[in-house]
Amino acid sequence: MVYLGILRRKAMLWLPLLALLLPPSPQAFSSEQVDDDMPTLRVAIIPHRSSLGNEQAYGKLFKRLQQQTGLKFRWIGSKTYDDVISHLASGTADIGYVGPFSYVDVQDNHGVRLICRTLSKKGQEFYHSMIVTRADSGIESLDQLGGKRFTFTDPKSTSGYLFPMAQLRKTGLDKDDFAEVKFVTRHANSLMAVYRGQADAGATSYTAIDKVDIDFDQMKILWKSEPIYRGPWIARKGLPDDQFNKLRQAMLELGQPDTTQDLFDGLTTKGFVAGSDSDYDNVREVIQLMGLN
């Protein structure tokens, strides 16, 4: 009996630690008391930040969307771009924020519905991919990158892989021509790796400049892409029309560039605009050029 008591006490000590080790269950964006009968939409977002960081950054926006639509929202953590695509394709997520490459992939292979496109802090509908190096690297052009260390973000990233890799191939370089290639998940990670000298050059989104605290005068842009429409919010194909329409209307109303900007504090997104599938045809062209379709 004494032995069993000791075991019980040990178990009680270990339970809190086990709770920390177990994977987190999906969390609601709002801690407010809500009607259990309200429909719940599961949300997945590409990993610009950690899952917890994304949940916190989008908290204000989804709290307001809940109030305006009568819908609840529950977070689905995603570590990679492919995780988000899989959630939307399989129906384990109802809505998601994705990059242009991920959108074309899941749309053309599984079918999704475009809710809206995003606007930048300055109200711009477009963004750019870029390849950067340090200003003191001695590298002046892409054709000097052979034998160097290079960083991409994610294989399903538009600006962190697809567009820069297509440009590198036009220059005559492929991944095997580098001394080292690393995929570092986030755009800020790629930019910081180059800034710190951990890589000689890297691919990232131009918006990454706003996400890191560096002296960008110490960096050099070797290449900048054509304009690319910013990533969209999308819904799985089977989402009921009434829920889709409520959400789309609310996002377009709340996402006006000159209103409710406090909802976007901490985000590179500062608004929403209506969009169409054809907006991403230039991305499809690069996917075909790369033989990834």
The residue type at 199:
A
Backbone φ and ψ for 213, nearest 5 degrees, come out as -100, 85
**E strands of 29-71, at which residues?**
40-45
By the 8 A CB rule, do 67 and 256 touch?
Answer: no
Average pLDDT rounded to a whole number, residues 178-198 = 96
5-53 pLDDT, tens digit each: 444 444 444 444 444 344 444 455 544 445 567 899 999 998 877 778 7
Measured distance CA(246)–CA(74) in Å, rounded:
17
83-131 pLDDT, tens digit each: 999 999 999 999 999 999 999 999 999 999 999 999 988 889 999 999 9
b vs e for 146-185, b when ≥16 Cβ sit within 10 Å of the residue's Cβ?
eebbbbbbbebbbbbbbbbbbbbeebebeeeebeeebebb
Question: Is residue 199 over pLDDT 90?
Answer: yes
Domains in the chain, start-ordered, CATH in brackets? 25-123+229-278 (3.40.190.10), 129-225 (3.40.190.10)
